[in-house]
Amino acid sequence: MGESVGETVVELLLAEPLLWLIGAAEIAFWVFLVAGLAARYLLHRPALGAALLVGVPLMDVVLVVAAVADVASGGEPSRVHGLAAVYLGATVAFGHPMIRWADARFAHRFAGGPRPVRPPRGGPARVRHEWRGFGRVVLAWLLAAGVLCLLTAVGGQPFPEPGQWPADPMWAWLGRLSVVAAIWFVAGPLWATVLPGDDRERDRVRS
């Protein structure tokens, strides 16, 4: 059983080299992020740190160019192309907040910066926080849809209707992302708006 699964994974990687690029892009994201922050706060070389951090979005450009080039050269749009589109949408939408999050912690730990602010636990501040987070999910969905449209157009494929997404290897990923967005909406901004709570009451209870 284990050998058959391993063989299937190897065959998939050999048949879909774009998977390697997606994995490399994810690794490069963290390498550039950590290296950039280390150069800024440990080596005290802010210019070098800024240059390294530029490499974070450049990997997204490389990935989308590779995906479009693969389809343009005759490659059939597949589930891997759909995964690449969703990955690109997510990294662009959440990449900058992730950099800010890591930068605040590096600054606090190595440069005497202020303690990072925790997300609000209740009240209007929490509602705003949850809606901002959901806004990034919507942005990721729109970016993924845009990349999928581009890949479909370049590949000369017909655009499927939303009801046909589950049967389409590439567009099925947008359907999955839609489910994630719906769950995020209910568990995040909708819940916070209906039951916003109160930070002051929570603080009194903890004290």
Q: Is the pLDDT of residue 147 over 90?
A: yes
What pLDDT, on a 0 to 100 scale, did the predictor assign at position 74?
Answer: 82
Closest CA to 171 of 103, 75, 77, 64: 77
Q: Report whether pLDDT(170) > 80.
A: yes
- State mean pLDDT over 84-99: 93
Mean pLDDT of all residues belonging to the chain: 86
CA angle 40, 45, 98 (to 5 degrees): 20
> What's the confidence (pLDDT) of residue 61?
87
pLDDT at 180: 96
pLDDT in tens, 21-30: 888 888 999 9
Scanning the structure block, which residue is given the tokens 């589950």? 166
Helices (H), 42-122: 46-72, 79-110
CA atoms of 138 and 124, how far apart (whole Å): 21
Look up the pTM and report it: 0.84
